[in-house]
Amino acid sequence: MPIGKFGPRARRTTRARPRRRRPGLGRSTHARPPGSSPWGSLPASKSDNYLAQRVTWAYGRQRIIDRVALLYTIGHSTHTLEEFLALLRQHAIKVLVDVRRFPTSRRHPHFVREALAEALRGAGVEYVHEPQLGGWRSARPDSPNTAWRTKGFQGYADHMGTPEFGTALARIVALGSERATAVMCAEITPWRCHRQLIADSLVAGGHRVLHIVTADRIEEHTLNPKARVLADGRLIYP
């Protein structure tokens, strides 16, 4: 007599174990209920440094975030205000994080911090300035990031090892886990801007980054092959 599905053993039923889903796979990055935290329930006494520490642990391959954050980057370049807002609408951006250390523009006054924030408010987009993610950083004499030949990028890579950078990065990860968030600087091409290093930090932490280049061109970021993730979570380019 055959046993199995049609034999005596068919009477014995066992409850199937539910399959555990891996964090961030097959789930929307913006489907979280409004007001909930991407890190779970955080006590009010916890500071931004707590978030930064958790992001750092994620860099060390200890995945403790509950899902992957999706963030966009964009450069304002020479766009008119209308063109720029149209790009944000095209990708349903709800938060714009300005990572210019000095958020001003002589040639394009609509991208000066105050004017831009007001225009975004009218378009239903939140403006956030993160100067700790801004560029114009000097390289250290003992810099471990010698793979960068451009001193500006080398200096920024050095800055990425500071607590200030980690704390600010944690804030944009939290934003990107909640709402469609774009990181903005001036250069239209991400490879000519320090946005590429911010994107490296995010991708190294297990997140996803899409670069908005033009209305019909968007590129997914991949980690720079020169980058190395240290045991403590820091990213260097030796």
The predicted-structure confidence for 128-186, as pLDDT tens digits, reads as follows 999 999 999 999 999 999 999 999 999 999 999 999 999 999 999 999 999 999 999 99
The pLDDT assigned to 67 comes to 60
- Report how far residue 201's alpha carbon sits from residue 144's, in angstroms, rounded to the nearest whole number: 16
The pLDDT assigned to 29 comes to 36
For 10, other C-beta atoms within 10 Å of its C-beta total 10
Give the chain's mean pLDDT: 80
Work out whether the CA dihedral 212, 194, 93, 206 comes out positive or negative.
Answer: positive
The pLDDT assigned to 49 comes to 40
Domains delineated in the chain: 69-236 (3.90.190)
CA-based R_g, the chain, Å: 22
67-90 pLDDT, tens digit each: 689 999 999 999 999 999 999 999
The pLDDT assigned to 16 comes to 47
- The pLDDT-based confidence of 232 (bands split at 50, 70, 90) is confident
pTM for the whole thing?
Answer: 0.74
Own/partner pairs, 28-37, CB within 8 angstroms, 24+ separation? 29/67, 29/68, 29/69, 29/70, 29/176, 29/177, 29/208, 30/70, 30/178, 30/179, 30/180, 32/67, 32/177, 32/178, 36/178, 37/174
Is pLDDT above 80 for 230?
yes
